[in-house]
A and B are shown apart, each in its own frame.
Chain A
Amino acid sequence: MELPLLARAQSGMDKTYRLTDEGGLAATESLAAAAASDRDLLVSLCGVGASVTLPTPPGPGEQYRFHFDMTRCIGCKCCVVACNEQNANPAEILWRRVGEIEGGVYPDTTRHHLSMGCNHCLEPSCMTGCPVNAYTKDPITGIVLHSADACIGCQYCTWNCSYGVPQYNPARGVVGKCDMCHSRLTQDQLPACVAACPEGAIQIETVRIDAWRRDYHAADSPGMPSADDSLSTTRITQAKRMAANTGRVDLGRLRPEHPHTPLICMTVLTQLAVGAFAAIWMLALVGSARHRAAAPLALMVTGIALAASTLHLGRPIHAWRALRMWRRSWLSREVLLFTLFVLVATLYSFALWLSLSAAFLLGAVTVLLGIAGVGTSARLYRVPGRPAWNSPFTYAHFFLTTALMGAISALLLDASSALARRIAISICLLIVAVELARLLWLMRSSVHELRGAATLLRTVLKTPFAGRLTLLLCTGVLLAHADAMPLLLLASALALAAEFAGRWLFFVSVVPTNIAAQYLAPEAA
């Protein structure tokens, strides 16, 4: 039996105790004497909240950060309860969570806990993604603050953060997160979690920003997503000896994510509209046909899409605010481009109706804005916190939907177009090929979140996944053999259903990165 602690003691490496050759305690007296002062210090440190001293406020080039000492944490979760009491959050929302990591082989088992709130990153991805500037990084403390007042509840930050820190509160319609008890700190009070920890495992420190930017490896730990994503400032003291395979205990727990139905509608329908306008414009270009009745229809689809998107917001009445951060946020850019798209598409539709000569140019601008819009749609899902989205496949997925919808629109407008028919059939097959390639890529990945997505697609999501591919193949077959308009309409409906299913799968099959969780999932609400 290997007993590393005993080995450490026998070798005399351990500072807390040593074994003499006879196995007795050595130098206990001097150790006890030395510890006396430490002990007093520790008693005052991890004792009553009020007696723990805060570090001096950060100076220029510095900020506050959490220090978490894994070797002190006993997994009691006082911090979690204290945080929820402090912030009056319901039990479903935990701004501080305790996860478990495990490794080794009995009895040399490694078992530790991670208690994490917000990491108050140097490059907070919650903030850079926010379309309404609800986040600020406090210039003095470096704390990443969130304003519930500014927030519109779009939840983009909940995807952007690799640690799952911002959490949406459906009862309020806004997101919330750990602010290191900013207001307590400014009044010389300890954050609730720090004050509540009976072991002194959580502390507040001051960190020099430039030095940390150069070397932030202490933010990484088994059970934590890579600090590269946003430069987490939390310093983690790891146990000195941990089994090499130490990692999250909750990896076997895979559950489909929230489908975000309004976003399924929004993305698929905007892509349909962009495809349709492209078809209208190109048919005019190629065949000089004016499909002036089709344009208002496509416009209506765009309107439904944009209206649907506001239903995703916790505070739809403030949807317009999402335009605000177009310089920084891909979500703002998406909203901006589709707003412009709808404006220009309206003009284009009028121009078509009135047979104005500006129609050609307006159509071109509409199509370009639409393609740019679809591009930003895809781009905004490329977040490190959702690895299965963070790949070129997302572009392929969104543009292939656009292309398929465009080709089918063209076919519906001009049933005799053999080119449109061939393109539509090819895209159906291409989508099937791309989806299979993506599945293969996911399956063969070494990244847990990617393999997890593959597992979901092959187990609980097997039926919808196979169903979607079947729908696409049926569409292809139907398109290859059918000429009658009812059959073409049926093929269109099948294709649209396939793309709705595809988008639903896109949302539910993603496995977000997160900090280690506890083994048991919370009870289903």
Chain B
Amino acid sequence: MNLRRWLARKSGLDTRVEEYAFAADPVLGHTATARLAERWVNTTCGYCSVGCGMQIGVREGRAVSVRGNPEHPVNRGRLCPKGLAEHHAISAEGRAREPLLRRDGRLVRVPWTEAIETMVTRFQQVQERYGADSLGVISTGQLVTEEFYALGKLVQLGFGTANYDGNTTLCMSTAVAGYKRSFGSDGPPGAYDDFAAADFILLIGANIADNHPILCARLEPNEARTLVVADPRVTKTAMMADLYLPVKPRSDLALLNAMLRIVLDEQLYNAEYVARHTRGLDELRASLAAFSLEDAAEITGLSQSLIRQVALLYARAKRPMVAWTMGVNHSTKGTETVNAINNLALLFGHVGQPGASPFSITGQCNAMGTREAGFASSLPGYRKFESEADREELAKLWNLPLERIPSARGLAYPDIIEAAVAGRIRALWILGTNPLVSFPNVDVLRQALDRLDFLVVQDGFHPTPTTELADLVLPAAIWGEKEGTYTNSERRVSKVNAAVAPPGEARSDFDIFLAVAERLGCREAIFPSWKSPADAFEEWRRISAGRLCDYSGISYEALERVHGIQWPLAANSIESPEATRRLYGNGRFATDDGRARLIATAWTPFPEQPSPEYPLVLNTGRTVEHWHTRTKTGAISILQRMAPRAWLEMNPLDAQRLELRPHDPVEVISARGRVSRVELRITEIVAPGQVFLPFHFAESNANQITQSAFDPISREPNFKQCAVRVERSPMSARERARKRR
């Protein structure tokens, strides 16, 4: 700043009037000139799975503002705080700008050609030496569906490894597994309209006020509903409830089984529906014979009469909905818990009916896209690895020999990590995820990454705790810089568009996949004549045609026109694209015989019970201001200001016993590690004996202490409960110095 300017500022002649000026924007109305846009680009939010339609305001090639798309059926113009500040993610500091290759221990800039060449050569060397499956790929829920489809083909058909999974296994694989077991296929049957249409809503392990705030806006206008919230913690969502159930940690399955027992014992269920559309009633009944209401009361901490009342509320409701998220999924009993929820719905035929469905609220913006188009938990279009007919169909559609189509699922995410520790996975490609913060018991992951011959991390941001360990960093475009589609929790496909160019040399993930395929020499075979995501989408429409997730009636043009279309929509459908669609409303399920399965489940205590050494149960979760590992939201000053660091919630009784005071820095210690210097919040939000720590913060990483315990079916980690003890942190050097003074 020159002297004149400095003097003008200091004397008060210059008050930066231009920076703080206002003007009329035809879209936003009277607003700060800093937000004035030359043009608006329709897109879909890139954070969570609610799938809000939004518009990015662009001026001089920069994203300067956002607003909710008033015409989008999901949010009708509303956005959550992360969405309202999303344009700042694009211009945030710490974006990855150029390919970086590790040389002599340091990451140095290299041209793209060299980056791709090195990556493919190293991967091929590893595969030649240790076998094709020694390459692992861990993807994300953050890419567009076109990219997931392309990546799946590239990994499974190009590199020829089956060991491909996404961070969605840390998140939604339980819902996937639960739906498959009950209904024969993945695919949430309900719609957001159900939140408004239901007369009874049970939110179980779902803190939507923090994690899916715009769903609260769908639910809140429904004044006819009874909202029951089951959560060990008095969340913001619990405060919305008409009836709050303060269940003990991981007792959800006991609560559900008690409800099932009551419904069966008192013959409250829809016998006709059960007889016509399900199998397994006798086994279900038998599995509950030894499980009494007294047991349930003991396990859940709820009174028997209260459990019975909740069961009766569900049984007598005309349009009851049960919705869940991570409280259920993040559990070694997660899949069974999902099955118990599905059992309850099936006993009454409350599946795919207006206002009534077992509804999994997804996590990431396009976790659903990975499930539909990916090659991880199933073949594209919810085809089964084990079905020869499905494989033959794909081989024909792709014009590839049948033996190129994988016939079995590869390793799931946690098993890829274990295989790396064991030396069976030798090279790893991580895309759009930051496992150094998000993977449980992170020291195991560190060991795994240390043992690798070659680690490629493809991300929109650098440095992140994960890119710092990479041998090669590929800079990727992020939301707002690329085109494609996202699918939200209610199976609604929405368009994602590029508003601005990626920074530096960063390229869209799609372009990177094409370049890798080119170098591998399989581009024409797996991506025939593809140039843009639109080409992938056209192929995906053909691949999904006739499947449960039928996209054939959905086109980019229609998506731009109506802003969001729920699948299935067949090409020849006479249905309006805007119509609300649900699955299985006719009682025909995706199983061989068309009948859903009632599945026997059994509650067991969570794996690591409190002990004298570790007497408290740690619960982990999120806060509304941040997204996952904070690579984006930590770089956005307004969100960071509102939630600047981690905290530990503890009940006053425990704090008194431990002689701790509000704002004390504490250590949270488990058998696996410790989180240091977390600020203590003494609060009645949590029950005595329990503590809560948000997991977003790398510097206070909750996953230093979580455990390696996984659902045997879905392979999802048991993030939500482990045993810890809490101590006041030893004084820092500064505090000691101050004390001495």
* A and B: interacting chains: yes
Show the binding face of A for B, using Cβ within 8 Å. 1, 3, 5-6, 9, 14, 16-17, 19, 22-25, 28, 31-32, 34-35, 38-39, 42-43, 46-51, 72, 74-78, 80-82, 84-88, 90-92, 94, 98, 102-107, 109, 111-113, 148-149, 152-153, 171-174, 176, 181, 183-184, 187, 189, 192, 196, 198-200, 249, 252-253, 313-318, 463, 518-523
Say yes or no: B199 contacts A76, CB within 8 Å.
no
Are B35 and A313 in contact, with the CB atoms below 8 A? no
Contact B220 A90 (CB under 8 A): no
Contact between A17 and B663, CB atoms less than 8 A apart: no
Q: With the chains together, A518 CA to B679 CA distance in Å? A: 13
Chain B residues within an 8 Å CB radius of A199? 216-217, 220
Q: Which residue in B15, B70, B642 is a CB contact (below 8 Å) of A50?
A: B70
Q: Are B644 and A77 in contact (CB under 8 A)?
A: no
Given A28-B317, A32-B224, CB of A85 within 8 Å of CB of B20: no
Q: Are B213 and A80 in contact (CB under 8 A)?
A: no
- A77 to B222, Cβ gap below 8 A? no
Q: A315-B11, A520-B647 are in contact. Are A198 and B213 (CB under 8 A)?
A: yes
Closest to B86 in A: A81
A50 CA to B637 CA in the complex, in Å? 28
Roughly how many angstroms separate A196 CA and B82 CA in the complex, as a whole number?
A: 12
In the complex, B294 has a CB within 8 A of chain A: no
Q: Contacting A43 at CB < 8 Å: which of B221, B225, B683?
A: B221
A-B contact pairs, 6 of them (CB 8 A): A6-B309, A31-B223, A48-B70, A105-B684, A187-B30, A523-B640
Known A-B contacts A28-B317, A75-B624; the reply to A3 vs B244 at CB < 8 A is: yes
**Among A3, A171, A173, contact of B243 (Cβ-Cβ < 8 Å):** A3
B29 lies within 8 A of A184 (CB) = yes
Contacts of A25 in B (CB 8 A): 199-200, 226, 313, 316-317
Is B154 an interface position by the 8 A CB rule?
Answer: no
Residue of B with least CB distance to A524: B644
Q: State whether A9 touches B242 (Cβ < 8 A).
A: yes
Chain B positions within 8 Å of A463 at CB level: 741
Given the known interface contacts A48-B68, A104-B684, A152-B12, the answer about A181 and B643 at a Cβ–Cβ threshold of 8 Å is no
Measured CB to CB, the closest approach of chain B to A242, in angstroms, equals 11
Q: Which of B73-81, B172-180, B465-473 contacts A (4 or more CB under 8 A)?
A: B73-81
Tell me if B645 and A523 are in contact (CB < 8 A): yes
State whether the Cβ of B558 lies closer than 8 Å to any Cβ in chain A. Answer: no
In the complex, which of the residues A19, A85, A187, A252 contacts B309, with contact meaning CB atoms closer than 8 Å?
A19
B661 close to chain A: CB less than 8 A: yes
Contact A111:B309 (CB < 8 A) given known A9-B243, A25-B226: no
Chain A: minimal CB distance from B304 (Å): 12
B30 near A520: Cβ-Cβ < 8 Å: no
What separation, in Å, do the CA atoms of A32 and B223 have in the docked complex? 7
Among residues of B, the one whose C-beta sits closest to the C-beta of A8 is B242
Which residues in B have some Cβ–Cβ distance to A below 8 Å? 9-13, 15-17, 19-20, 22, 24, 29-35, 65, 68, 70, 76-81, 84-85, 196, 199-200, 209-210, 213-214, 216-217, 220-226, 234, 236-244, 246, 302-303, 306, 308-309, 312-313, 315-318, 624-625, 637-645, 647, 651, 661-663, 679, 681, 683-688, 741
**A151 — nearest CB in chain B belongs to which residue?**
B15
Task: Let me know if B15 and A148 touch, CB within 8 A.
Answer: yes
CA distance A149 to B20 in the complex (A): 12
Q: Which chain B positions have C-beta within 8 A of A72?
A: 220
Contact B244 A107 (CB under 8 A): yes
With the chains together, A103 CA to B16 CA distance in Å? Answer: 44
Beyond known contacts A90-B637, A107-B246: 13 more, CB 8 A cutoff = A1-B302, A23-B309, A24-B315, A31-B223, A39-B224, A48-B78, A51-B70, A77-B81, A78-B79, A80-B642, A86-B31, A111-B234, A520-B645
- B70 touching A24 by the CB < 8 A rule? no
Q: How far apart sit A111 and B685, CA to CA, in the bound complex (Å)?
A: 8
Q: Taking the nearest CB of chain A, how far is it from the CB of B638, in angstroms?
A: 5
Question: Which of B31, B238, B303, B306 has the most C-beta atoms of chain A within 10 angstroms of its own C-beta?
Answer: B31
In the complex, the answer to whether B638 meets A80 with C-beta atoms within 8 Å is: yes
Considering the complex, give the chain A residue whose CB is closest to the CB of B75.
Answer: A198
The one of B76, B81, B241, B242 in contact with A47, judged by C-beta atoms closer than 8 angstroms, is B76
Establish whether residues A23 and B303, one from each chain, have CB atoms under 8 Å apart when the complex forms. Answer: no
In the docked arrangement, what's the CA distance between A51 and B12, Å? 42
Q: Which residues of B contact A148 (CB under 8 A)?
A: 15, 17, 20
| B contact residues around A113 at 8 Å (CB) | 236
Q: Which of B15, B313, B684 contacts A173 (CB 8 A)?
A: B15
Q: Are A187 and B244 in contact (CB-based, < 8 A)?
A: no
What is the CA–CA distance of A38 and B222 in the complex, to the nearest angstrom? 9
How far in angstroms is the closest Cβ of chain B from A155? 13
**Contact residue among B16, B30, B244, B643 (Cβ-Cβ distance under 8 Å from A171):** B16
Does the CB pair A39–B221 fall under 8 Å?
Answer: yes
Once A172-B20, A315-B12, A519-B681 are accepted as A-B contacts, the answer to whether A183 and B30 lie under 8 Å apart by CB is yes
Chain A residues with Cβ below 8 Å from B637 are: 90-91
Give which listed residue, B13, B246, B313, contacts A317 with CB less than 8 A: B13
**Which A-chain residue is minimally distant from B196 (CB atoms)?**
A39
The 3 closest A-B pairs by CB, nearest first: A315-B12, A48-B77, A107-B246
How many Å lie between the Cα of A103 and that of B226 in the bound state?
A: 24
Contact: A23 with B236, CB < 8 Å? no
Report the separation of the CA atoms of residues A265 and B576 in the bound assembly, to the nearest whole angstrom.
75
Question: Which residue of A is nearest B66, CB measured?
Answer: A85
A37 to B: closest C-beta gap in Å: 10
Set of chain B residues within 8 Å of A104, measured between Cβ atoms: 684
Given known A-B contacts A47-B78, A316-B11, A522 and B226 have beta carbons under 8 A apart: no
**Chain B residue contacts of A192, Cβ below 8 A:** 31
B222: which of A9, A35, A98, A181 is its contact (CB, 8 Å)? A35
Question: Which single member of A77, A149, A313 contacts B624 (CB below 8 Å)?
Answer: A77
Tell me how far the C-beta of B685 lies from the nearest C-beta in chain A, rounded to whole angstroms: 6
> For the complex, what is the distance from the CA of A471 to the CA of B65, rounded to whole Å?
57
CB distance B303 to A39 under 8 Å?
no
Contact A520-B318, Cβ < 8 Å, known A14-B242, A107-B687 = no
Q: Which of A1, A42, A171, A172 contacts B221 (CB 8 A)?
A: A42
Q: How far is the CA of A17 from the CA of B200 in the complex (A)?
A: 10
